Structures are given as C-alpha cells and as structure tokens.
Amino acid sequence: MTVVATPVRRRWAALAVLSASLLLVVIDITLLNVALPAISEDLRPGAVQLLWMVDVYALVVAGLLVTVSALGDRWGRKRMLITGFAVFGAASTAILWAHSPGAVIAVRALLGVGGAMIMPSTLSLIRTLFTDARERATALGVWAAMAAVGSALGPIVGGLLLERFSWQAAFLVNVPVMVVAIVAGVFLLPESRNPRPGRWDALGTVLSIAGMVALVYAIKRISEYGLADAASLVSLAVAVAGLGWFVARCLRRPDPLLEIRLLRRPSFSAGTITALTTEIAMAGMMLLLAQWMQLVQGYTPLETGVRLLPAALAALVVSPLAPSIATRVGARPVLAGGLVIVGLGLAVVAVNPTGYLPMAISLVLIGLGMGSLAIASAVIMAGAPPEKAGSAAAIEETSYEVGGALGVAVLGSIAAAVYRSGLPLDALAAQGVTGSAASTVRESIGGALTVASQAGSGVAGLARQAFTDSLAVTCAAGAVIALIAAVGVWLLTPRDLDLSSSQH
C-alpha cells in the first residue's frame, strides 16, 4: 500500500477538508428541493423534465460509485477527489449558462459525476489517513456528523439564498468552497492507491453502471407508477440481470472491480445494514415531514429548515462521541441501539403526529440514533484492508444511495396509499369536488390545496388530516423496519467486536 505517513496536525487538517467537502455535497443535494419552485417558475419545465432534474443526480452517482472508487484505487484517491472538486465547481459555474430545463438537467448530471468522485474518496482517504483504529473511528464520527448537518442545513441555506438572490445562487454557492477545497486538498492530503490493482474489468464496469442506474431508476418508477408499470418491470429486470452478473464476476475474479467478498464478514455486513436502514428511515421521514411542516402547518421553507435542525444538532453531538461510547459498552450495543433509538423516534410521530413538540422529540431521537452511523462507518472501513478502501467506501456509499431511493419509494408509496384512502370519493363529492379535481386532490396534498383554493376550506381540512394520518402510518412502518434491522444487526455483530483493531 503506497501511502505516506501523515503528521497528527496535518491528518486532522486533512479531515477538515474532507468533512467540509462532504458537507457541501450533502447540502447541495437538499438545496434543489428548496430551489425547485423558483426554477419551475422561471424555466417552466414539463412534468418529465422536472422529474429528471430531481432524479438525474442520484442516477449518475449510483451508476458511477463502483467504477469511480475502483479508478481511485488505481489512479490515486487524492487525484480522484481533487478532480471531483474541479468537476463539481465547474458544473456549479455552468449554471450561469443554463437557460433551459435541459441545460439544468445536464448541470445536475455533471454535479452527479463530481459527487460520485468526492463521496467515496473522502471515506477511502480517511481509511488510509488514520492508520490507528481508534483515531479513525473518531474521524469517521466527525464525517458522519457532517453528513447529518449537511442534510439539515440544505433547506436553511437554500431558503436564505432564495430570499435574497435568484435560484442560480443555490448552485453558485459551491464555487468558492470548491476552489478552497482544491487548494487545501493539494497541500494537505496525501496520495494513496492500491499498488497491485490487477487488470481492469471493462465488462464489470459496464455491468455495474447499467445495473445500478437500472436499479435506482426502477425503485423511483415503482414508487410513482407501481409494479404494473412496464418500464418499471423492464428496468428491474435489467438491474437484476446486470447486478447478478456483476456480483458473479466479482466473486470469481482474484482482482474484482468491487470486493464483494467483504460482505462475508458479519461485522462488515452489520455496518452496511445499519447504513442502509438508517438512510431508508431518514429519507422517507424527512421527505414527508418537510411537506407536513410547509403544507399542513404553513411554515415557509426557511422556517421548516430551522425546525428540522434538532436531528442534525443531536447527530452533531453524538456522532463524534459514538466511538468512545462503543469502546466502553461495545460496538454491538451502539450499532443495534442506534437503530432502536431511530425506531423509537419514528414511533413518537406514529403515536402523536400533531403539533411541533412531538416532531422535535422525534427528530432529537433520530439524531441520537444516527450516532450509530459513525460506528457503522468505522466497522465498514476497519473491516477492509487499506488497499481495498475504495471497495469498502463504494459499498457504504451505495448503501446510502439505495437506502435513500428505497426510503422514498417504499415509505413514500405507503404514505401515498394511506393519503388516498383518507380521501374517499364520496367525502370529496360531499365537498363539491368530483372528476379530475377529485383525482388531483387524491394525487398529492399540494394539488389538494390548489383545488381547495377554489372549492373551499373543507377540502383543505380533509387533505391535511389525510396527510397527517399518512405521516403517522409511514413513521410506524419506518419504526418497524428500524427495529427489525436492529435485531439483525445485533445477531450479525460479534459480541467481542473491538474498534481498536484494524480489521474484523
């Protein structure tokens, strides 16, 4: 493994660069949700174009994670990260020339290329920067905290920018930060790579890209159109065939593109399940909770962002402390216990989805539970040899991407079904809403409030109650998923798992 030993101060300064870059990428992902109304008003995209603006980033990131991580192991992880910074900054600057929906989609796709280079590179560089396992666990705790803070700060930063500037500012804010990150990264980050990467697997590259893009696309389509949709089924079949072939190749080859065999280690699998499940719960709940605060409670995007902060603040406190807690009580109780706390947080909303106080309590519990992500990252990265750091990072980041897509798809589908069942056609007819207007009301709460502005407040009241009920049921489902995963993680994680050792 070719990596230069890094002095203590320089290691932690390098971590600051890696954490800040991750923070910005996560903020940028959530910024778009706040900027979409302004983009829609200015560029008038069609429904399909609007959907691609949202989805193209995740599709590109998911498709490139494995390939980019393997390239980083060969070409150099520092080079890959610096190149990612440059691509992300260039794409953000290109928004100045994006005067059509298609151009915005292209910018989002290019941002996805940069994000795919940045996110796994930060993890693999932490693995090689911090050779001491306890130091590495603390560093990953800081990394996990930045991810949590970024997801909460996105709506706040977006709200502040959009109150004062045009929607392009949501992209341009990335540019100066990326310039600083490039300069700091060049001087502070050491280069590292796998000295014996083996032959490049061209077919495996194609299979991983096609399979992951098809999988994420299938999940997103199924959440909107259901399993009866032909395109969903075709995409799902492509994903199963492509990823199945890819996994088989990786298991057969001595030098695979992705070291799938790492998942044979129970602790590595436990960490991956923790990351996947936490992201499923978080993505589904945050999507619904942000809508509930704005459309049911009437908060502005900025007010909503501020009210979502308790989760980030709790995670910011607990994530860096999680490794020391795991040292005292063991990694297994922290991994499984974090999922239990996330489940309890979701259960609070399921039991009492009225008013902000239960939501704040829920968010604090979820933020506390997210401390388990720091241990999950430590277990995943420590469970991989340094030369396989790219593979470990790709597996963890893929679990986040797939978990986020599944959270929106599965929990979002449950929410949509409960919402529709709370708005029966006869109840809407009693309010004078029938035909296409009734379909609009049952499609989304946003559509319901638009119809209600013409049909009267009765429809708005019904829709708000139906959405609140859907939030409660969805959080109950999320709680069940988290608690089941907690049992699985407890059984998988060795009782004597010690984060102070280098591999598990």
Q: DSSP letter string over 155-212? A: HHHHHHHHHHS-TTHHHHTHHHHHHHHHHHHHHHPPPEE-S------HHHHHHHHHHH
Look at residue 2 in the predicted model and tell me its pLDDT: 43
Q: Quick one: pLDDT band at residue 500, thresholds 50, 70, 90?
A: low
Cα–Cα dist 251/245, whole Å: 10
Return the C-alpha torsion angle 47, 170, 108, 116, nearest 10. -140
Cα–Cα dist 33/28, whole Å: 10
Q: Quick one: pLDDT band at residue 222, thresholds 50, 70, 90?
A: confident
Burial class, 106, CB count within 10 angstroms (exposed 0-12 / middle 13-18 / buried 19+): middle
Q: Is the pLDDT of residue 293 over 80?
A: yes
Q: Is the pLDDT of residue 504 over 50?
A: no
Q: What are phi and psi of 2, to 5 degrees?
A: -95, 95
DSSP tag of 409: I
Domain at 8-198+255-419+470-492: CATH architecture: Up-down Bundle (1.20)
DSSP tag of 408: I
Look at residue 33 in the predicted model and tell me its pLDDT: 67
Cα–Cα dist 460/34, whole Å: 23
Cα–Cα dist 195/181, whole Å: 26
Cα–Cα dist 35/30, whole Å: 9
- From the list 284, 273, 275, the residue with the least C-alpha distance to 477 is 284
Query: Which residue type sits at 61?
Result: V
Return the C-alpha torsion angle 400, 286, 221, 159, nearest 10. -100
Report the percent of the chain where pLDDT is more than 90.
15
- Is the Cβ–Cβ distance between 251 and 261 less than 8 Å? yes
Q: How large is the average pLDDT for residues 349-362?
A: 89
Report the percent of the chain where pLDDT is more than 70.
93
Computed over every residue of the chain, the mean pLDDT equals 82
Q: What is the pLDDT of residues 34-87, one digit of tens each?
A: 777 778 778 877 766 776 787 788 788 888 888 888 888 788 888 999 999 999
Q: Is the pLDDT of residue 208 over 80?
A: yes
Q: Is the pLDDT of residue 306 over 90?
A: no
Q: What is the pLDDT of residues 146-173, one digit of tens each?
A: 877 777 777 778 778 877 888 888 888 8
Q: What is the pLDDT of residues 394-420, one digit of tens each?
A: 787 778 777 877 777 778 778 888 888
pTM comes to 0.79
- From the list 408, 383, 386, the residue with the least C-alpha distance to 396 is 383
SS3 2: strand
